[in-house]
């Protein structure tokens, strides 16, 4: 399979004709090629998006835009299995995870379809003789940089929100996983999106990605990826005074108090670190457990970890492979540091014998008594590695929870209502979940971070405020 860019509702060869091999993480073998985008391709995509914004797409009434988004949602729903297969192979996701992502992207477009004609301004009481109103207007052309871990979901929340606000989009997906997005853009053209509303240029971050962010024709950048690249992207965008939404990494804590319902919490704690092989920005990668129940909870966690099975996407087990060999090496490096520093592996899952040796597998690993200031407790591993540590009281739990550079998501497990409220306020994170984690995806729920986890919000209606600019109109009429 040889995939091209998708620009102006057409498949377009890269200028210069270079390609990138696509590797199947389940067996480590190449199975397709994508176009290697460059500044020339980015320029073409941005010009095409600009023409759409100034033409048919930009002039389309909001309700009509909503109908198109809804049509796309329905078309995705009819093809959930097709998207499941593409995403599972491209990302190495177990089928059930890939299917959940395909269903989620349809739901994003459904949500944003209904929101298109509900984004409105206000009138503001002012001095006598004036009428003052605000308009929420699209920026124009928005650039979207997307990582490989949830291509479909992140496309839904980022491009869905931007289109709903009336922008035209240029998307640079990750070089490791972008095939589902090319198919999605093609499907959008099939259901009637005007030429240039959605454009996709594939390629490397330091080539096509940099060119997109630096281009003077971009009016807003939405970046989802690592904190280091996010900082770089914000610096480059600042040269053109372009606003940036940064959705970055995390080291999200799950805080388990002694009065928690452990039976309710355990499967959620496990899923929060095993889902997508731990390659999730909001992975619950630290578990803080009140000391009086620490041993009991750790035994239960260990039991559950030992039952986890890892294998190829098509086997649809608890956990698939990591995305690429470098990611596998990164996880191994973290684990060898843990070993060198005497951190105990309490339990591990099993890589099934049928998993090809050339695939990028890592058994889910539970580490106990991880020192608070250790790399394993501070940095994002981005693999199925859970760092556990005890705490003595609420004050210490808060200190540990807030004691990293990140602040994306937190989970709090307690039956005490007053403590639920105190913790919700005290923990510094973009989302706090009490007696659940992730609320089952939460398309409607604003999402984003504080500190090194980024700024700006996507998902929910809040995203629309981020993808629109506010204009104040003051009319003096006497």
Catalytic residues: 247, 281
Sign of CA dihedral 218, 226, 247, 279: positive
Alpha-carbon gap, residue 168 to 290, rounded angstroms: 49
The full length of the chain comes to: 478
Sheet with 468-476, edge to edge strand ranges:
123-124, 130-138, 468-476
Shortest distance in whole angstroms from residue 247 CB to ligand NAD: 3
> Based on CB atoms, which residue is closest to ligand NAD, 205 or 390?
205
Residue nearest to ligand NAD (CB): 205
Q: Are 115 and 464 in contact (CB under 8 A)?
A: yes
Q: Is 159 exposed, middle or buried (0-12, 13-18, 19+ CB in 10 A)?
A: buried
Alpha-carbon gap, residue 424 to 437, rounded angstroms: 13
> Based on CB atoms, which residue is closest to ligand NAD, 4 or 172?
172
Q: What residue ranges bind ligand NAD (CB under 6 A)?
A: 145-150, 172, 174-175, 204-206, 209-210, 213, 224-226, 229, 232-233, 247-250, 281, 380, 382, 408, 454
Angle between helix 394-402 and helix 417-426 axes, rounded to 10 deg: 30
Q: Are 32 and 225 in contact (CB under 8 A)?
A: no
> Based on CB atoms, which residue is closest to ligand NAD, 271 or 396?
271
Shortest distance in whole angstroms from residue 291 CB to ligand NAD: 30
Shortest distance in whole angstroms from residue 68 CB to ligand NAD: 25
Shortest distance in whole angstroms from residue 131 CB to ligand NAD: 40
Q: List alpha helices for 275-322, DSSP H.
A: 291-306
Angle between helix 151-164 and helix 80-91 axes, rounded to 10 deg: 120
Alpha-carbon gap, residue 331 to 322, rounded angstroms: 9
> Based on CB atoms, which residue is closest to ligand NAD, 94 or 166?
94
In the numeric block, the tokens 């290697």 are attached to 36
> Based on CB atoms, which residue is closest to ligand NAD, 143 or 390?
143
> Based on CB atoms, which residue is closest to ligand NAD, 123 or 206?
206
Shortest distance in whole angstroms from residue 161 CB to ligand NAD: 13
Shortest distance in whole angstroms from residue 236 CB to ligand NAD: 7
Alpha-carbon gap, residue 162 to 362, rounded angstroms: 36
In the numeric block, the tokens 């009140």 are attached to 290
DSSP 192-223: TPPTTSEEE--S-IIIIIHHHHH-TT--EEEE
Q: What is the CA radius of gyration of the chain?
A: 23
Alpha-carbon gap, residue 250 to 284, rounded angstroms: 9
Shortest distance in whole angstroms from residue 421 CB to ligand NAD: 26
In the numeric block, the tokens 């695939």 are attached to 359
> Based on CB atoms, which residue is closest to ligand NAD, 24 or 101?
101
Tell me the CA distances in angstroms from 375 to 286, 337, 371, one per residue in order: 12, 8, 9
To 5 degrees, how large is the angle CA 294–CA 275–CA 277? 95
DSSP 334-347: HHHHHHHTTPEEEE
> Based on CB atoms, which residue is closest to ligand NAD, 196 or 456?
456
Shortest distance in whole angstroms from residue 153 CB to ligand NAD: 9
């Amino acid at each position: 399979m040889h995939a091209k860019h998708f620009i102006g509702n057409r498949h377009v060869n890269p200028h210069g004709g270079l390609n990138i091999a696509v590797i199947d993480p389940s067996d480590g073998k190449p199975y397709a090629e994508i176009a290697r985008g460059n500044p020339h391709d980015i320029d073409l995509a941005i010009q095409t998006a600009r023409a759409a914004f100034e033409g048919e797409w930009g002039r389309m009434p909001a309700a009509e835009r909503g109908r198109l988004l809804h049509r796309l949602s329905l078309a995705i729903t009819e093809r959930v299995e097709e998207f499941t297969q593409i995403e599972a192979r491209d990302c190495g996701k177990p089928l059930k995870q890939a299917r959940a992502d395909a269903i989620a992207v349809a739901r994003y477009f459904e949500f944003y379809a209904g929101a298109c004609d509900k984004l409105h301004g206000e009138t503001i009481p002012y001095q006598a003789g004036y009428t003052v109103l605000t308009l929420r207007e699209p920026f124009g052309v928005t650039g979207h940089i997307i990582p490989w871990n949830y291509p479909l979901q992140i496309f839904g929340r980022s491009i869905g929100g931007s289109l709903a606000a009336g922008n035209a989009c240029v998307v640079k997906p990750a070089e490791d996983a972008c095939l589902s997005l090319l198919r999605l853009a093609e499907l959008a053209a099939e259901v009637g999106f005007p030429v240039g509303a959605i454009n996709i240029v594939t390629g490397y971050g330091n080539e096509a990605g940099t060119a997109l962010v630096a281009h003077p024709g971009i009016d807003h950048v939405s970046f989802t990826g690592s904190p280091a690249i996010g900082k770089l992207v914000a610096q480059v965008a600042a040269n053109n005074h372009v606003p940036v939404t940064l959705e970055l990494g995390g080291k999200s804590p799950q805080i388990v108090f002694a009065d928690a319902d452990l039976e309710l919490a355990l499967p959620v704690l496990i899923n929060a670190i095993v889902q997508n092989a731990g390659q999730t920005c909001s992975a619950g990668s630290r578990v803080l457990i009140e000391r009086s129940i620490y041993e009991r909870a750790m035994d239960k966690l260990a039991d559950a970890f030992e039952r986890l099975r890892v294998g190829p996407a098509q086997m649809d087990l608890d956990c698939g492979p990591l995305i690429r060999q470098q990611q596998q090496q990164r996880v191994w490096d973290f684990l060898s540091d843990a070993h060198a520093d005497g951190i105990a592996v309490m339990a591990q899952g099993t890589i099934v014998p049928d998993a090809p040796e050339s695939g990028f597998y890592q058994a889910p690993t539970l580490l106990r008594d991880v020192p608070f200031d250790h790399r394993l407790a501070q940095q994002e591993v981005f693999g199925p590695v859970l760092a556990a540590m005890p705490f003595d009281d609420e004050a210490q739990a808060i200190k540990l929870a807030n004691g990293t550079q990140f602040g994306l998501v937190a989970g709090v497990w307690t039956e005490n209502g007053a403590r639920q409220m105190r913790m919700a306020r005290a923990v510094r994170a973009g989302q706090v979940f009490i007696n659940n984690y992730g609320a089952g995806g939460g398309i409607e729920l604003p999402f984003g971070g504080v500190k090194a986890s980024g700024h700006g919000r996507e998902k929910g209606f809040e995203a629309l405020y981020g993808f629109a600019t506010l204009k104040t109109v003051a009319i003096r009429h006497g």
